[in-house]
Structure 1
Amino acid sequence: MKKKIKGVSELKNQKRSMILLFLLMILAVSGCSSNSVKTDKIIEDGLNINSISIGLGGSEEDEGITVVTYHFNLWNRTNKSIILKTVEPIISNEIQERLIDRDIRLDINKKIDGNTSEALTGTFKLDTRGLDKEGIINLNINVNKFNVAIEQVIGMNDVNN
């Protein structure tokens, strides 16, 4: 009788071991496939912004004008050079209505090599007459997205020639 109980116990342990091994294999395969998806996504991303900083200041010319200065690093994550034509910050409609000069696009026309970054700085002026410091802060001036125009020269791969 004891022999029979020991055999059933060993069979249960083997079954548990097989299930555990099967689950570990599934986990390993799913981990590998999700990593490859993430890697593919990174390769597809051509341009990225590493960091952005924004500064607000008064204008020396006029008390009712706030100067917004933004600085960011644009990283070319591809292996190919690009020509950065223009950069324009995307701002809210409320902020657009307060612009002193509507043309806030930066003309860059500069080559950025692959796997390098370029520091870019721009400014625009806002009409903030009648607002105190708290009122200006409440405008929620946020510059974190940009329209970027690039030019890239491409050709046939050497393998295809």
Structure 2
Amino acid sequence: MTLTAILPTLRASIPDPLAAASWPARTRASVTDVVVDGVSLHGLALLCGTPCVHTADGAEPFAVLVTTVTGTTTTHDGRRLLVLDAGPTEGSGAGLVGPGSATWAELRLLGRASVARLVPTVVCDPDKVPLAEVPMPADVATGDLLGVPCPGGVGRGPGR
């Protein structure tokens, strides 16, 4: 557990730490963004729309997917669900990302700092098929941008 998880108000002044092995080399976090090889993921999404993929330089294939939250809900048992605009069923089934292709534990909020407490959150593809359960700030809402590292790259699909 990190200090920002214990005291979420700190996220307004210091970024959540990155697990360096889960991200491409030359990745750094700020309070509201992740920068990979000098490319702002938030800026990339604003420029290209989502879902979009940044392929990082390096000997091994490595990509970062930027996606938008298209819906949120709470189930009858209190679990929070986030529906993303990218997933294995994206487009004609070609798929951008699936349960095993992304390091979901490193899912990051982009574009704003949240000081809300972390809650267990089920991340789903556009068809509401669960991809992973991860701790996310309780105030993540429709329209928020998220970034997730994908070692080995991502599948082909209509991403930008």
TM-score by length of 1: 0.28
The answer to which structure, 1 or 2, has the higher relative contact order (CA under 8 A, 6+ apart) is: 2
The structure with the greater share of residues assigned to helix is: 1
Q: Rg bigger for which structure?
A: 1
TM-score by length of 2: 0.28
